[in-house]
A = this chain, B = another copy of it.
Amino acid sequence: MTEHIVSAFDAELKELGRKVVEMGGQAERLVADSVLSLIRRDSTMAQRVVLLDATIDHLQREIEDKAVLVIAKRQPMAVDLRDIVATLRISNDLERIGDLAKNVAKRVLAIESEYHPQKLVRGVEHMSDLVLEQMKEVLDAYAGRDAEKAMGVWRKDASVDTMYTSLFRELLTYMMEDPRNISVCTHLLFCAKNIERIGDHSTNVAETVYYMVTGQMITDTRPKADETSETTVAFPPRSVEG
């Protein structure tokens, strides 16, 4: 390869990286706004989240098209190929995060006229604070090619899952105590599940960044503390530890 071609290739890689960072920023904002619209009961904001998800979908297709063209045109060597494949995987996870934020926003619209149990809404907020921090960290890790930071995000996913499991129990208990809350709590349950899954996708991104930087997979077993698919709450409500 001549130097000219090499630097054009470099520029293309950088451009792809910039697009991923841009997409990450947009996904972060959608997640933050979807939860804010829940807390503030702000339908206008929720509607905006629903609409804006399309721009993330669009960015993903753009990144995919571009990445594939770069691979076909440049026949990159192993290390650069890893970089481009990472781009594809991360944009995929970010697209899913956008979808999940959109779904939270739709549920905000569904329950806007109903009574919001503040304690439970706060529970969703706390979870999302942690998940947003994870997203921020992992996008920094991507931008700075920081495998250690990625590993840190990966390790912390278990705390998101723990919060979700405890919120799941609380929501179920709340429904049992007063069936009038079933409809609202069901939507909050799905909101919480969506946010937990946003955490999972951030963990996927962490794995991809680690692989991109080191060429190695994270070999530890993934910390998994969301036990709610195996969790039931007995009726009548026991302690939430039950």
Q: Which residues of A line the B interface, CB within 8 A?
A: 64, 68, 71-73, 75-76, 81, 84-85, 88, 92, 103, 106-107, 109-111, 114, 172, 175-176, 179-180, 182-184, 186-187, 189-190, 193, 229-235
- How many copies of this chain sit in the oligomeric assembly? 2
Measured in the bound complex, the distance between the Cα atoms of B193 and A182 in whole Å is 17
Given contacts A72-B76, A85-B68, contact A172 B190 (CB under 8 A): no
Residues of B contacting A232 with CB < 8 Å?
110-111, 114, 183-184, 187
Chain B, Cβ-Cβ closest to A84: B68
Alpha-carbon distance between A184 and B172 when the two chains are bound, in angstroms: 10
Question: Do the beta carbons of A179 and B176 come within 8 Å of each other?
Answer: yes
**Secondary structure of the A side of the interface?**
helix
- Shortest beta-carbon distance, A221 to chain B, in Å? 12
A180 touching B110 in the complex, CB below 8 Å, given contacts A85-B64, A88-B88: no
Find out whether the CB atom of B72 lies under 8 angstroms from the CB atom of A73: no
Query: A85-B64, A179-B179 known; A229 and B193 CB under 8 Å?
Result: no
Chain B residue contacts of A233, Cβ below 8 A: 182-183
User: Cβ of A176: which chain B residues have Cβ within 8 Å of it?
Assistant: 179, 182
Determine if B229 and A106 form an interchain contact, defined as CB atoms under 8 angstroms apart. yes
Whole-angstrom distance between the alpha carbons of A199 and B75 in the complex?
36
> Are the CB atoms of B92 and A68 closer together than 8 Å?
no
Which interface residue of A64, A76, A179, A234 has the most chain B CB atoms within 10 A?
Answer: A179
Smallest Cβ distance from A28 to chain B, in angstroms? 22
The one of B75, B109, B183 in contact with A75, judged by C-beta atoms closer than 8 angstroms, is B75
Given contacts A71-B68, A72-B71, A81-B72, contact A229 B190 (CB under 8 A): yes
Report chain B residues within 8 Å CB of A111.
232
CA–CA, A184 and B176, complex, Å:
12
- Which residue of B68, B114, B187, B193 is within 8 Å of A190 (Cβ)? B193
The residues of B that contact A180 with a CB separation of less than 8 Å are: 235
A-B contact pairs, 20 of them (CB 8 A): A68-B84, A71-B71, A71-B72, A72-B81, A73-B75, A92-B92, A106-B229, A107-B229, A109-B230, A110-B232, A172-B182, A172-B183, A176-B179, A176-B182, A179-B235, A182-B182, A182-B233, A183-B233, A186-B189, A190-B229
